[in-house]
Structure 1
Amino acid sequence: MNMVDIDYAAFRRLDLNLLVAFDALVSEASVSRAAARLYVGQPAMSHALARLRETFGDDILFREGAGMRPTPRALALAGAVRQVLDDIQHLARGARAFDPAEAEGRVRIALTDPLEALLLPGLVARLRARAPGLMLSVLPIPASRQLEQLDAGAVTLVVGHFPQLREVHEGLALHESGFSCVFNPTLIQVPPGPSLADLAGLPHIHTNYVGEPPGLVDRVFKAQGLSRQVVARSAMPLSIPFVLKRSPLVAILPDMLTRMFLVHVDLRFEPLRIEGLSLPISLVRHRRERSDPLTGFVAGLLADSVAEWVAAGG
C-alpha cells in the first residue's frame, strides 16, 4: 500500500489503544478480567467496549448464561488485530535484534589515504570475522568534501579531522595525534627538539590531505608571528618520505602518519612539543543514521580499529 492510499481521516477517528482493549476483551471474554489485564478500572474498560461496538458496528462480546462470548465478527477480526499489535510492538522495539552475521549489503565510508592505510586492515579483518555478508567501500572523497558527501548520503561514516561540525552531525572523538618533524639528517640539519623558530627557517614539503592551506600547522606558525617556507606540496602524503630521502627538506606531519614511515631508517623523526600542534581525529555520522543498527555496528568496528592501533603504539 502506498502512503497516499491511507485514509488519514479514518485513523484520526480511531484510537489505536482501542485495539489493545479489543485484544484483551476477546482473549479474556470478560470485561473485568480484561480490565485487570490492562491495569485499568472496569468502568474504563466498559467505556472502551462501547467505543469498539460503535467503531466496528458489532457487539464484540455478548452475554451467554453467566459469562460472555466474542461475536463471530470479533473472532474473525481477532487474528488481524493481534498481527497489527505485534507489528507495532516490533516497530517500537526496533524490530528484531540486529545480527551482524546475517547482515547483507554495502557499507560506504570515507577515509583519507593515511587513515585508510592505518585503519582498513583492522576494519576489514573485523568485518570478515563478524559480518561476512557485508561489502565495504571506501570512497575516494577529498577531506574537504567528506562532510558534504555525508550530508548527501553518499557515505554513512567518515573518519578524519573535522574542526567544525554542524547540528546534523554526531561526532565521536577517537584519537588526538601529536606531530613530528621528519627529515634526512645527511641532507639537512635540524636541532634536537626544534622550536617553531628553528623550523621557520627551513624549506618544507607539505601535504594537503587534511584540506587546502592554510592548515593547522600554518595556523600554529601564524599564532606565533611566524611563517614557513613551503617549496613543495604533495597530494599523496605517502610519497613524502621518498622525497625527503633525496631533497634537503623537512616535513611536519602527524605522528599517526609518521608511524608508517618508520621503515625508512635513513630518516629522522623529531617529536614536536608545541602548544596547539595536535590533530584530533573523529568518527562522524549524520543524525539520520543515529538509530540504524548497521551504521552503529560499523562505527563500533572503526572505533575498535583505532583503539587497537593506539594500543599498539599509535
Structure 2
Amino acid sequence: MELKDVDLNLLVVFEQLLRQGTVSGAAKAMNLSQPAVSNALARLRALLGDQLFVRSSKGMLPTPLALELAKPISFALESLQATLSQKRSFDPEHSARAFRVAMTDIGEVHFIPPLMGALGQRAPGVTLSTVRNTAVDLAADMSQGKIDLAVGHLPELGSGFFQRRLFRQRYVCLFRPGHALDKKKISMRDFEAAEHVVVTAAGTGHARNDEILAEAGVNRRVRLRVPHFVALADIIATTDLVATVTWTFAERCARYFGLKYVSHPFALPEIQINLFWHARYHHDPANQWLRNQFVELFAD
C-alpha cells in the first residue's frame, strides 16, 4: 500500500474513533452520520486488512495494529493542522519571517527608513532584504515565493501579478545652491546649456527619460554617466552638474544635502510607482501584512 492510496479523511475518522471510542461519538465530533463513519471504518479495514476496532461492552477497542498506528497518525494530523492554521494567520509581533523586496537604490532611499522604523515597532523579529530586479529573474522568483514584493515602475510585471498604486512621480532638475539654474523657473535653453550627470539605471522607468529627451531633439551636454543614484547627491553638491530626478528624491536631497531643485522645463511624463505581488500569494497572510505596511506608509 502507498500513501497515494489513502484518503486523508479516513485517517481523521480513525483518530476520532480512537478518541471517542464509539461510532456515534466519532460521528457527533465530526458532524457526520453514523452510517458515514461506519462506511469509512469499513474502507479502512479493507485498506489495511485489519479490523482496527472491535465492539465490546466498553465501546470500540483498538486492535494491536490500530494502537501501533495511533501515534504516527495523530502526530501527522496535528502537524498538518498546525501548518494549515499557521498559514491562515500571521502574528507580526512574534514572527521571525525574513521578507525579500525588489526595488532600486532610489527606492531604498525613499522606502527603507520609514519601513524599518515601522517594522521595529510592529514586528521586531521580522527581517528584510532588498534585491535589484535587474539582478534576478523577477517574475520567476516572485512566482516561486523567493521574492515577496516588488515596488517601482515595473511594466514588465503583467499577467499573473496584482498591483496597487502607491503614488505618482514628476521629474525636476537637481543642482547645487548658487548654480546658474538656481532660480524659480528655467528654460529649455538653460537646460541645454548646463552640464549634466545621467543615471543609466537599466530596468527602471527612469531610463526611459533619456530616450524621450533624445526623441524630442533635446541636446544635453552629458559630462558624467553613473549606474545608480547612491552617490548622486555628493556628486551634485561638489560640481556644476545637473541631474534629472524624481521630485521625492530631490526633496530628500534638499533636506539632507542642502541641494536645490526646480520644475523640469521639458514635459516628461509622470511615472506611477506601484506595489506588485504574485497571484499565488494574494491571500497569504504574511504577504498581505507586508503589503499593508507599504500602503499605510507610502500610498497617496
Range into which the TM-score falls when normalised by the shorter chain: 0.7 to 0.9
Matched residue, 1:16: 8
Q: Does the Cα contact within 8 Å between 2:53 and 2:63 map onto a contact in 1?
A: no
How many Å separate the matches in 2 of 1:218 and 1:42?
A: 74
Q: Does the Cα contact within 8 Å between 2:154 and 2:204 map onto a contact in 1?
A: no
Q: 1:236: Cα distance to partner?
A: 4.6
Matched, 1:144 2:115: no
Matched, 1:206 2:198: yes
How many Å separate the matches in 1 of 2:128 and 2:82?
A: 29
Q: Does the Cα contact within 8 Å between 1:171 and 1:283 map onto a contact in 2?
A: yes
Q: Does the Cα contact within 8 Å between 2:107 and 2:152 map onto a contact in 1?
A: yes
- The one-letter code of the counterpart of 1:145 is A
Q: Does the Cα contact within 8 Å between 2:101 and 2:130 map onto a contact in 1?
A: yes
Structure 1 pair 283–86 and aligned structure 2 pair: CA distance change class (3 A): same
Identity of aligned residues (%): 26
Q: Does the Cα contact within 8 Å between 1:202 and 1:250 map onto a contact in 2?
A: no
Structure 1 pair 77–126 and aligned structure 2 pair: CA distance change class (3 A): same
How many Å separate the matches in 1 of 2:18 and 2:238?
A: 86
Structure 1 pair 298–83 and aligned structure 2 pair: CA distance change class (3 A): same
How many Å separate the matches in 1 of 2:246 and 2:104?
A: 13
Q: 1:164: Cα distance to partner?
A: 1.4
Q: After superposition, what is the alpha-carbon deviation per residue over 1:58-105, rounded to whole angstroms, capped at 9, x for unaligned?
A: 33333335x743234345544443333322323333458443344347
2:91 pairs with 99, 103, 118, which one?
99
Structure 1 pair 185–202 and aligned structure 2 pair: CA distance change class (3 A): farther
How many Å separate the matches in 1 of 2:117 and 2:205?
A: 35
How many Å separate the matches in 1 of 2:232 and 2:218?
A: 21
Aligned length: 294
Matched, 1:70 2:61: yes
- The one-letter code of the counterpart of 2:263 is E
For residue 50 of structure 2, give the secondary structure of its aligned residue in structure 1.
coil
For residue 7 of structure 2, give the secondary structure of its aligned residue in structure 1.
coil
How many Å separate the matches in 2 of 1:234 and 1:102?
A: 42
Matched residue, 2:153: 161
How many Å separate the matches in 2 of 1:161 and 1:213?
A: 5
Q: Does the Cα contact within 8 Å between 2:54 and 2:63 map onto a contact in 1?
A: no
Structure 1 pair 258–31 and aligned structure 2 pair: CA distance change class (3 A): same
For residue 63 of structure 1, give the secondary structure of its aligned residue in structure 2.
strand
For residue 237 of structure 1, give the secondary structure of its aligned residue in structure 2.
coil
Question: What aligned pairs does 1:124-203 form with structure 2 within 5 A after superposition?
Answer: 124-138=116-130, 141=132, 144-145=134-135, 147-148=137-138, 151=141, 156-167=148-159, 169-183=161-175, 187-188=179-180, 201-203=192-194
How many Å separate the matches in 2 of 1:35 and 1:249?
A: 79
- The one-letter code of the counterpart of 2:49 is G
- The one-letter code of the counterpart of 1:229 is R
- The one-letter code of the counterpart of 1:69 is M
Matched residue, 1:270: 263
Q: After superposition, what is the alpha-carbon deviation per residue over 1:235-275, rounded to whole angstroms, capped at 9, x for unaligned?
A: 3535545555676654322111111122455734226793x
* Unmatched 5+ stretches in structure 2: none
Matched, 1:227 2:218: yes
- The one-letter code of the counterpart of 2:113 is P
1:121 pairs with 113, 118, 132, which one?
113
Q: Which moved more, 1:12-21 or 1:99-108?
A: 99-108
For residue 73 of structure 2, give the secondary structure of its aligned residue in structure 1.
helix
Q: After superposition, what is the alpha-carbon deviation per residue over 1:181-207, rounded to whole angstroms, capped at 9, x for unaligned?
A: 334685435886667x66774444322
For residue 34 of structure 1, give the secondary structure of its aligned residue in structure 2.
helix
Q: After superposition, what is the alpha-carbon deviation per residue over 1:159-185, rounded to whole angstroms, capped at 9, x for unaligned?
A: 332221154655443222122233468
How many Å separate the matches in 2 of 1:282 and 1:162?
A: 8
Matched residue, 1:30: 22
Structure 1 pair 70–249 and aligned structure 2 pair: CA distance change class (3 A): same
CA RMSD of aligned residues (A): 4.1
For residue 126 of structure 1, give the secondary structure of its aligned residue in structure 2.
helix
- The one-letter code of the counterpart of 1:269 is V
